[in-house]
Structure formats: structure tokens, C-alpha cells
Amino acid sequence: MRTTVSISDHLLKVAKRVSVERNCSLGEVIDEALTVTLISLPGAAAREEPKPFKTFSGSGTQPGVDLHSNASLEELMGS
């Protein structure tokens, strides 16, 4: 859904930086931040089950892989 909101310049810059680091859209970063914040509130709606990662074999990432760190992924890929 599309909507318009006012966000402080500082938070927008941080969110844009995170979207570039994670290679995802600004909307995805804002959606995740709102989800994390709102789910933690008392009386929050039932938690949505996380979606599993799609894999070609096995049951997820290999041990030691940190999907939240571009630097560690780059190191593992040998770039």
C-alpha cells in the first residue's frame, strides 16, 4: 500500500543507507523497522510467522554466514 508520511531528515538518511547496504528498497527497511517496533508493544496483534529462506538444497544458510553483514558476506565470497 502506498502512503505519505513525514520522516526526520536524519532517520531518512539512515534508512536510505541501510537499504543500500542490504540491497533492498527503502520501503522494505521502513516496513521492517515498523514491524520490529510495533510487534514489541504490549497487546500487539498476533505475530506474523517469518517467511523461510528459499534454498536449493539443505535447510538454510551454512554455519557462520551472517546475512546481516555485507562485510562478512563479501569476505566469505573472497571478493
pTM exceeding the 0.85 threshold for the entire prediction: no
d(CA 72, CA 30): 24
Mean pLDDT by groups of 10 residues along the chain of 79 residues: 89 95 93 87 66 68 80 77
How confident is the model at residue 8, as a pLDDT?
94
How confident is the model at residue 54, as a pLDDT?
64
Cell of 72: 562478512
- CA distances, 41 to each of 48, 49, 71 (Å): 14, 17, 32
In the block, cell 520490529 appears at 36
